[in-house]
Amino acid sequence: MNNDTRTAVTIEAIGSYVPERRVTNDELAQRVDTSDEWIRSHTGIGARHLAEDHIATSDLAVKAALDAIERSQMRKEDIDGIVLATATPDFVGFPSTACVVQEKLEMIGVTALDVVAGCTGFIYGIEVARGLILTGAMHHVLVIGAEKLSSIVNWEDRDTCVLFGDGAGCAIVSGGGDAEAERGVKETILYADGRGSSSLMVPKGGSSAPLRDTTVAIEDVTISMDGHEVYKFAVAKLGETIKKLMDHNDLTVDDIDMIIPHQANIRIIQAAARRLRIPMDKFFVNIEDYANTSSASIPIALKNLEDEGRLAKGDRIIIVGFGAGLTSGGSVIVW
């Protein structure tokens, strides 16, 4: 395809994968001092899927990618690039987890890169792929959000361990011409505020605090979160991003078929909906079954919507998220 005819960037297929092992709140309550009632009332979570110890983030990503490729009826040979968003890479530093995925998919030579933007990673990844396509560098890109958050959770910390699950989702993002101009990613807003970086992090293990130079406690290498600060940022940015996307594109609530937010906490979604005066039935929520799967949550939700027959070609949706960094972002997409 000539560069000058590549005017649309569309999502051609969506795939996902979650581990078979499903852990309910009641099962978790046997391990830490919590209860199903407390977890549901504070988060909306009822269960989460957890990967076995020998499974890596890249393994989850590969299964989601193969699902998307199969649903698209494309061949692996048609793919030009892999953009993988994750907060739980196979290895700290290098090699790139996207390169590990490339090798496992037997797609050697295909461009592969990681995106690190916390739970907003999938949205960042879509925009990276969109740029690569519109410049003519690529035509079909796998955008994957994949997480094994169980590997960085302190299972003795009841404030955080109840929140997270494992899984992966993959979108095939493709370039199109004038015939597809009505479809595709219409606008994306990305935002980052490094002042909140300490609000959601793993304190040690990177270049600023190498593990070789310190005595390591479990709290040093697992998720640390200031829930109050993250909540304030999330509610503000969810509402602000949705409003900006609607205003910039002259959209009303009636013009939007569905809003798919990052699935972190039902209270955050409800608070943002109240601020915007948007009914909750406009928001797709599946946190009860999957918990917070970080960069995987939005593509997993998109796959759920499509499987339920609630997402069809031509539907106008908004995807919106927030995460460590602190980062946030959203996109208007015509499916």
Are 129 and 145 in contact by the 8 Å Cβ rule? The answer is no
A 10 A CB-CB count for 277 gives 7
Which residue out of 161, 262, 286, 304 is catalytically annotated? 262
Q: Is the pLDDT of residue 4 over 80?
A: no
262 is catalytic: yes
The pLDDT value recorded for residue 10 is: 96
Treating both helix axes as pointing N-terminal to C-terminal, what angle do 121-134 and 297-307 enclose, rounded to 10 degrees?
80
The pTM is what? 0.95
Between residues 207 and 298, the one the model is more confident about: 298
242-249 contacts at long range (C-beta below 8 A, 24 or more positions apart): 242/272, 242/276, 242/278, 242/318, 242/320, 242/330, 243/276, 244/189, 245/187, 245/189, 245/318, 245/320, 245/330, 245/331, 245/332, 246/318, 248/187, 249/186, 249/187, 249/332
What are the structural domains, with CATH classification, of the chain?
A: 3-180 (3.40.47.10), 184-334 (3.40.47.10)
Which residue out of 99, 119, 161, 170 is catalytically annotated? 119
Q: How far apart are CA 322 and CA 123, in angstroms?
A: 10
A 10 A CB-CB count for 219 gives 14
Are 143 and 117 in contact by the 8 Å Cβ rule? The answer is no
292 is catalytic: yes
pLDDT in tens, 90-149: 998 889 999 999 999 999 999 999 999 999 999 999 999 999 999 999 999 999 999 999
The pLDDT value recorded for residue 3 is: 44
CA nearest neighbour of 83 among 132, 152, 34, 23: 132
- Band of residue 5 on the pLDDT scale cut at 50, 70, 90: low
Q: Is the pLDDT of residue 1 over 60?
A: no
pLDDT in tens, 72-100: 989 999 999 999 999 999 998 889 999 99
Mean per-residue pLDDT over the chain, rounded: 95
User: Six-digit token pair at 188?
Assistant: 């994306």
